[in-house]
Structure 1
Amino acid sequence: MTQQFDFTDTPLEGLKIVQRRTVNDSRGFLSRVYCAKEFAGHGFNKSVSQINQTLTYQKGTVRGLHYQLMPHTEIKLVSCVKGEIFDVAVDLRKGSPTFLHWHSEMLSEKNQRSMLIPEGFAHGFQSLTDNCELLYLHSKPYEKGSEAALNMNDSRLAITFPLSITDISERDRAHPMIDNNFEGVMV
């Protein structure tokens, strides 16, 4: 069987960009989003436990930075299947040499890229077009009691968004800033 994905390392250990290969013909295309056999060798070595889809109506909207605490830390595969987003992952792993560093990628229906986010990272994004749809594959189901988040506007992170922020939920706006006692997430 032909490999359906190209995996590229980022400067943050374990965080990978996944380039999907498409099979095109006169009708359109086929693109595999996930294959357990191929992903196992690149960090997604657990079963998919939950699949979520989001729709973000307005260009410039920001969502995040969300993560789960132990014992519910999760691996995520994030794909933009309609529109385009500025996708951000922040390393929160306690003791990591890249603790609080972030990496961003443009994900879109056109470029067929996904971000493979390991345990111990926070995730968020900004929509660059109206009506963006994302597909998330999670290694663990959402657990409300283990939910945590950081504020996207935290000056310690200094995330530079490509657009002015047009919308952010009250919940996301109220996420805490990083304080000096934050040592990271155990994975």
Structure 2
Amino acid sequence: MRFFPTAVSGAFVVEVDARYDERGLFARTFDAKSFEDHGLVPVYPQCNVSQNHRRGTLRGMHYQADPRPEVKLVRATRGRVFDVALDLRRDSPTYLQWASVELDAARHNAFYIPGGCAHGFMTLEDDCELFYQMSEVYVPELAHGVRWDDPAFSIAWPFRPSVINERDVALESYSQETSL
């Protein structure tokens, strides 16, 4: 496993060491000790799956607030997505900055997103699926979000979304109270 820092402090692209032979591929996609050795959260008590039917589906920007902020380890298990971490931690050196990675099921890469960051993604093709490992269980009253198109962040999405749900459309723009 290889860990590559991103433009957001504490966020990493995780790449696997794939081994190929006549049978196909083998790769370890998660190793708690490797995560611990890099100072990253190694325990994920909740896992989620997100299926998305159409190219241009956008979900985000979501986060879970204190006292239970979520670390997320996200990977595409089918298709390709443009995945984004947005730093909302006031004490972070990358406060209000964002980082993105193309998650690709064929590459088996992942995005480690620290607690205190909002997360969102856009599908780059039809029939995408994401698998999330979460450091905290979901607490509905702590679930929040900010607008995906807020000019305070200027996230460079690859194109306009074609599918976005009412909840995400109704998210408010950023304010100081949003910061964690």
Q: State the distance in 1 between where 2:171 and 2:28 align.
A: 35
Q: Is this contact kept in 2: 1:95–1:184, CA < 8 A?
A: no
Alpha-carbon separation, structure 2, partners of 1:151 and 1:43? 30
Per the TM alignment, residue 32 of structure 1 is displaced from its structure 2 partner at its CA by 1.9
Match of 1:93 among 73, 89, 93: 89
In the other structure, the counterpart of 2:29 is 33
Show CA shifts across 1:90-120 (max 9, x none).
0011222211100111110122211101111
What is the Cα-based RMSD across aligned positions, in Å? 1.3
Q: How does 1:100-115 map to 2 (within 5 A)?
A: 100-115=96-111
- Superposition pairs for residues 16-165 of structure 1, below 5 Å? 16-165=12-161
Runs of 4+ in 1 over 4 A off after TM superposition: none
SS in 1 for 2:141: helix
Which amino acid letter does the alignment assign opposite residue 40 of structure 2?
F
**What is the rounded CA distance, in whole Å, between the counterparts of 1:94 and 1:45 in structure 2?**
21
TM-score by length of 2: 0.95
How far did 1:155 drift?
Answer: 0.9
Deviation at 1:183, TM superposition (A): 6.0
Distance 1:57 1:12 in 2: 29
The answer to whether the Cα contact below 8 Å between 1:44 and 1:75 also exists between their aligned partners in 2 is no
Q: Deviations over 1:24-74 (max 9, x none)?
A: 222221222211111112243342110111111100110011100111101
2:26 and 2:48 map into 1 onto residues whose CA distance is 20
Unaligned runs of 5+ in 1: none
- How many pairs are equivalent? 180
**Separation (CA, whole Å) in 1 of partners of 2:114 and 2:55:** 27
Matching residue of 2:173: 177
TM-score calculated relative to the size of structure 1:
0.91
Over 3 Å counting, the alpha-carbon distance change for 1:43 and 1:66 in structure 2 is: farther
Shift of 1:11: 2.3
